[in-house]
Amino acid sequence: MNDLAGRHFVLGLSGGIACYKAAELCRALIKEGATVQVVMTEAAEHFITAVTMQALSNRPVYGSQWDSREPNNMPHINLSREADAILIAPCSADFMAKLLHGRADELLSLMCLARPIDKVPLLLAPAMNREMWAHPATQRNMMQLAADGAHILGVGSGFQACGETGDGRMLEPPELLEDIIAFFQPKLLAGKRVLVTAGPTFEAIDPVRGITNRSSGKMGFAIARAAREAGADVTLVAGPVSLPTPRGITRIDVRSAEDMLRATMPQAQSADVFVATAAVADWRPASASDHKIKKDGSGKPPELTFTENPDILATVAQSARAKSAALFCVGFAAESHDLAANAQAKRVRKGVPLLVGNIGPATFGADDNALLLVDDKGMREIPRASKLQLARELVADIAQRL
């Protein structure tokens, strides 16, 4: 993906041990297609050298407002005018306090103050000891900086370089990258609650065996991420998959179809959009054995009988909230053939306004896919692309229908 293609960042480093993570962040931004101009405070240069940051960004680093390389000798103006965003990572407690007061006694704070506030967003990745982070002064500063228009990227929690454990670590570079990419996505679902089911279900035969399917959960996880990028409050009900949780969403892990229904129904009561991507097993063993089923030596396989699982999508689509149009339901259909006809028939059968068809065997586990959107007026194809790209297009389509 090149989610930051064409974007230019000023990456500002203030003093803190998290400067070592700024090197990786710089590289991650560039890998995602961005260009990066590094600006460092004098304190930052105690933690990491300008040489490292120059080599990674492929540009000379700026550190002084008296830098004579600029013909007009105004790096604070020139650098901030060409940026799509200024990202301070790490942003120390001291640097937050400086920003708050509009201090401008060295290049980085001077540049932040001089930035065109409506055109160049300021993103802050705080990094400090847990006591410093929890201090009322820091919390007050953070709230005021947000009120002044800065975007606070939050902090991580865990082991700190000082030996203490708690909140205040700088987020890891991949986490920052995900949040920065999200920041630039249009907020088409701001204020909406989105509920997504994803992955396969696992239906137990006995304590060690069960029936499942090849769904990887990737499409559903991508939709959850895209909805969060679009500003929604997202809950993801996930069957057994080994995928990392997208940033900023609530994940509920479940195993069987019945578990998934139990987790989904209460969430659906307050959701505005429900997207059912889960490949729910249609059948489960009528009674799971409490003990591992053993071979009895006769060579005869055990006889399994099955019960139909609840249809989660159809159940949600029949709820009062969906009937009153307060909840917009979207189904998925994994088909092996006759996609258009099967998807349209399934949409009507499930009672949903929008159904998204795809060819199951061609997509399970893959990172890309192609989608067919089917509604009461007809159908539209979203051509093959990465699942995240498809998810963003689907989210935009859903947002238009609300």
Active site residues: 162
Query: Which distant-in-sequence residues (6+ apart) come within 8 Å of 199 by Cβ?
Result: 215, 216, 217, 220, 238, 239, 240, 241, 243, 278, 279
Residues 218-277 that bind ligand CTP (CB under 6 A): 257, 276-277
Q: Where are the alpha helices (DSSP H) in 102-229?
A: 107-114, 130-134, 136-147, 173-184, 218-229
Helix (H) / strand (E) containing 96: helix 93-101
Structure tokens at 333: 């259909």
Alpha helices in 168-293 (DSSP H): 173-184, 218-229, 257-268
Residue from 263, 331, 374, 390 that binds ligand CTP (CB under 6 A)?
331
Query: What's the rounded Cα separation, in Å, for the pair 111 and 98?
Result: 12
In whole angstroms, how close is the CB of 177 to ligand CTP at the nearest point? Answer: 30
CB of 220 to ligand CTP, least distance (A): 9
Closest distance between ligand CTP and the C-beta of residue 267, in Å?
13
Closest to ligand CTP by CB, 257 vs 388, is 257
Which value, to the nearest 10 degrees, does the dihedral of the CA atoms of residues 343, 349, 352, 353 take? 60
Q: Which stretch binds ligand CTP (CB under 6 A): 146-154, 183-191, 330-338, 390-398?
A: 330-338
What are the structure tokens assigned to 122, written together? 């300021």
Q: Is 282 in the site for ligand CTP (CB under 6 A)?
A: yes
Among 11, 22, 86, 333, binds ligand CTP (CB under 6 A): 333
Task: Find the shortest distance in angstroms from Cβ 105 to ligand CTP.
Answer: 58
Q: Which of residues 184-213 bind ligand CTP (CB under 6 A)?
A: 197
Euclidean distance between CA atoms 1 and 356, whole angstroms? 23
- Which CB sits closer to ligand CTP, 132 or 196? 196
Mask: binding to ligand CTP, 349-378, rule CB under 6 A, as x and -?
-x----------------------------
Of 35, 332, 373, 382, which one interacts with ligand CTP (CB under 6 A)?
332
From the number of C-beta atoms within 10 Å of its C-beta (0-12, 13-18, 19+), residue 156 rates as middle
Only one of the segments 39-47, 278-286, 319-327, 381-389 lies at the binding site for ligand CTP (rule: CB under 6 A); that segment is 278-286
Q: Out of 160, 309, 363, 369, which residue is the one contacting ligand CTP (CB under 6 A)?
A: 309
CB-count exposure of residue 385 (10 Å: 0-12, 13-18, 19+): middle
Q: Which amino acid is at 156?
A: G
Pairing of strands 35-40, 122-126: unpaired
Angle at 314 between CA 310 and CA 316, to 5 degrees: 95
Count, residues near ligand CTP per rule CB under 6 A:
18
Among 40, 238, 313, 391, binds ligand CTP (CB under 6 A): 313
Q: How far is the CB of 192 from ligand CTP (least distance, A)?
A: 19
Residue (180 or 279) nearer to ligand CTP, CB: 279
Cβ 244 to ligand CTP, closest distance in Å?
A: 22
Q: Euclidean distance between the first and final Cα of the chain, in Å?
A: 29
Residue 25 in contact with residue 44, Cβ under 8 Å? no
Q: In the complex, what is the shortest distance from the CB of residue 316 to ligand CTP, in angstroms, rounded to a whole number?
A: 8
Which residue ranges make up the site for ligand CTP (CB under 6 A)? Answer: 197, 257, 276-280, 282, 309, 311-313, 331-334, 346, 350
